[in-house]
Amino acid sequence: MKLVIASALVAVGILSSASAFASKEKDLATKSACMACHAVDKKLVGPAYQDVAKKYAGDKTAEAKLVEKVKKGGSGVWGPIPMPPNAAVKDEDIKTLVKWVLAGAK
């Protein structure tokens, strides 16, 4: 019984940590002004992050392509509205955000 309770507590701790981790990335996206045009699960000005994850699923070059696109901006992939460059966002933060998006952004 003690083992079951201990396992449950560990599982809750892991889930809480995963939730906090996702919240950290979402906070970074908000701080970096990404959430002004994007949402996790619905299209705003730009695509939903979950749609981006689906589009690039299995593409081994996706991370590098998206890091470049976020930094320099772009247009034409998701419609006619261009994404402005994000040169003021640190490269490390862009990479963190892209990994979060590609992982399904929750």
Point out the annotated binding site for heme c.
Answer: 34, 38, 83
Token duo for residue 49: 């992050």
Feature table: binding site = 34, 38, 83
Token duo for residue 45: 């000005």
CA separation, residue 43 to residues 7, 21, 48, 76 (Å): 39, 23, 5, 15
